[in-house]
Amino acid sequence: MAEERSHMVTGRSGRFLHGLKIVVLFILALLFLLPFYVIFRNAFTSSEAFVAAEWTWLPDNLDFSVLRDLFSDTDLNLPAAMLHSAIQAVGQTLLTVLVSFMAGYGLARFPNKAATVVLRLTVLTLMVPTAVTFVPSFIMTTRFGWIDSYRGLIIPMMFSAFATYMFRQSLLEFPHELEEAANLDGANPWTTMWRIVVPNSKGIIAAVTTITFIGAWNSFLWPLLVARDNTMTIQLTLSRFMTSQGVNYPKLFAGALVAIVPVVIVFLVLQRYLVQGLETSGMD
Amino acid sequence: MSSSTLSKPPPRSFWQRVRGRQGRNLWFALFVAPFLIGLLIFVCIPIIWSAYLSFFDARATLSPTTFVGFANYQNLLTDPLFRKSMLVFIVFAVFIVPLTYVCSLALALALNNVGTLRAFFRSSFFIPTACSYVVAAMVWRLSFFNGARFGLVNSLLRKVGGSNIDWLSGVGYWYWIALVSLRLWLQVGYYMILLIAGLNRIPTDTYEAAAIDGAGRWATLRHVTLPQLRAVSAAVLMLLLIGAFQAFDEFYNLLSSSGTYPPYARPPLVHLYLISVGGADQDLGMGGAGTVIVTGIIVLFGLAQNWLVTGQERREKKAITPTAQDRREEVSHG
HEC profile of B232-265: HHHHHHHHHHHHHHCCCHHHHHHHCECCECCCCC
Centroid of chain to Cα B308: 17
Indicate yes or no: CB of A127 within 8 angstroms of CB of B302: yes
Distance CA A83, CA B8 (A): 63
A193: DSSP letter: I
For chain B, give the number of residues: 334
> Which of the two residues, A73 and A96, has the higher pLDDT score?
A96
Contact criterion met (CB below 8 Å) for B266 and A88: no
Centroid of chain to Cα B140: 23
Distance CA A200, CA B21 (A): 26
Q: What is the pLDDT of residues A219-274, one digit of tens each?
A: 999 999 999 999 999 999 999 988 877 778 888 999 999 999 999 999 999 988 88
Distance CA A216, CA A85 (A): 8
Phi, psi torsion values for A242, nearest 5 degrees: -65, -40
Distance CA A166, CA A282 (A): 6
Residues 6+ apart with CB under 8 A from B323: A111
Which chain B residue shows the shortest CA-CA distance from A33?
A: B124
Distance CA A150, CA A83 (A): 12
Contact criterion met (CB below 8 Å) for B299 and A127: yes
Give whole-number Cα distances, B41 to A88, A122, A157, A232, B254, in Å.
20, 14, 11, 25, 33
Contact criterion met (CB below 8 Å) for A41 and A61: no
Distance CA B327, CA B283 (A): 50
Distance CA B203, CA B194 (A): 17
Indicate yes or no: CB of B276 within 8 angstroms of CB of A128: no
The pLDDT of residue B195: 93
Three-class SS of residue B59?
strand
DSSP E strand boundaries for B262-326: none
Which chain A residue shows the shortest CA-CA distance from B20?
A: A188
Q: Is B18 exposed, middle or buried (0-12, 13-18, 19+ CB in 10 A)?
A: exposed
Distance CA B106, CA A278 (A): 18
Tell me which residue in A50, A107, A260 faces B135 most closely, judged by beta carbons. A260
Indicate yes or no: CB of A218 within 8 angstroms of CB of B246: no
The pLDDT of residue A280: 67
A54: DSSP letter: S
Tell me which residue in B123, B196, B216 faces A279 most closely, judged by beta carbons. B196
Residues 6+ apart with CB under 8 A from B168: B141, B145, B147, B174, B175, B178, B254, B255
The pLDDT of residue A226: 94
The pLDDT of residue A165: 92
Distance CA B15, CA B9 (A): 12
B117: DSSP letter: G
Centroid of chain to Cα A222: 15
Q: Which residues of B touch A193 (CB under 8 A)?
A: 31
The pLDDT of residue A18: 84
Three-class SS of residue B150?
coil
Give whole-number Cα distances, B61 to A137, B37, B286, B294, in Å.
15, 26, 12, 22
The pLDDT of residue B315: 59
Which chain A residue shows the shortest CA-CA distance from B215?
A: A7
Tell me which residue in A110, A133, A283 faces B197 most closely, judged by beta carbons. A283
Query: Which of B209, B212, B210 lies closest to B220, judged by CA?
Result: B210
Query: Which of A214, A219, A211 lies closest to A273, judged by CA?
Result: A211
The pLDDT of residue A8: 42
The pLDDT of residue A5: 37
Q: Which residues of B touch A218 (CB under 8 A)?
A: 131-134
ipTM, 2 decimals?
A: 0.90
The pLDDT of residue B209: 86
The answer, yes or no, to whether residue A60 has pLDDT greater than 90, is no
Distance CA B280, CA A137 (A): 19
Contact criterion met (CB below 8 Å) for A257 and A39: yes
Q: Is A13 exposed, middle or buried (0-12, 13-18, 19+ CB in 10 A)?
A: exposed
Q: What is the pLDDT of residues A1-30, one digit of tens each?
A: 333 333 444 567 778 888 888 999 999 999
Distance CA B132, CA A36 (A): 12
Give whole-number Cα distances, B321 to A3, A168, B183, B260, B313, in Å.
43, 17, 39, 55, 12
Q: Which residues of B touch A172 (CB under 8 A)?
A: 322
Three-class SS of residue A76?
coil
Give whole-number Cα distances, B307 to B7, B22, B201, in Å.
52, 37, 23
The pLDDT of residue A71: 87
Which chain A residue shows the shortest CA-CA distance from B256?
A: A243
Distance CA A23, CA A21 (A): 5
Cβ atoms within 10 Å, residue B10: 8
Which chain A residue shows the shortest CA-CA distance from B232?
A: A283
Phi, psi torsion values for B232, nearest 5 degrees: -65, -45
- Nearest-Cα distance to chain A for B155, in Å, is 6
Indicate yes or no: CB of A99 within 8 angstroms of CB of B34: yes
The pLDDT of residue B16: 56
Q: What is the pLDDT of residues A29-49, one digit of tens each?
A: 999 999 999 999 999 998 888
Task: Return the C-alpha torsion angle A212, A213, A219, A224, nearest 10.
Answer: 110
pLDDT category at A214 given cuts 50, 70, 90 is very high
Task: Record the pTM.
Answer: 0.87
Interface contacts (A, B; CB < 8 Å): 290
Indicate yes or no: CB of A25 within 8 angstroms of CB of B330: no
Three-class SS of residue B146?
coil
Residue type, B309: V
Residue type, B270: V
Q: What is the pLDDT along chain B (334 residues), one digit of tens a residue?
A: 444 444 555 555 555 554 556 578 888 889 999 999 999 998 888 888 888 888 988 887 777 778 888 898 998 899 999 999 999 999 999 999 999 999 999 999 999 878 888 889 999 999 999 999 999 999 999 999 998 888 999 999 999 988 889 999 888 899 999 999 999 999 999 999 999 988 988 888 888 888 888 888 888 888 888 888 888 888 899 889 888 988 999 999 999 988 789 989 999 999 999 988 877 778 888 888 988 888 888 888 877 777 776 665 665 555 544 444 444 444 444 3
Measured between alpha carbons, how far apart are the two ends of chain B, in Å? 13
From the candidates B19, B21, B32, B253, which should be mutated to test the interface with A, based on the most A CB atoms within 10 A? B32
> Which of the two residues, B12 and A276, has the higher pLDDT score?
A276
Distance CA B163, CA B155 (A): 9
B283: DSSP letter: B
Distance CA B13, CA B20 (A): 10
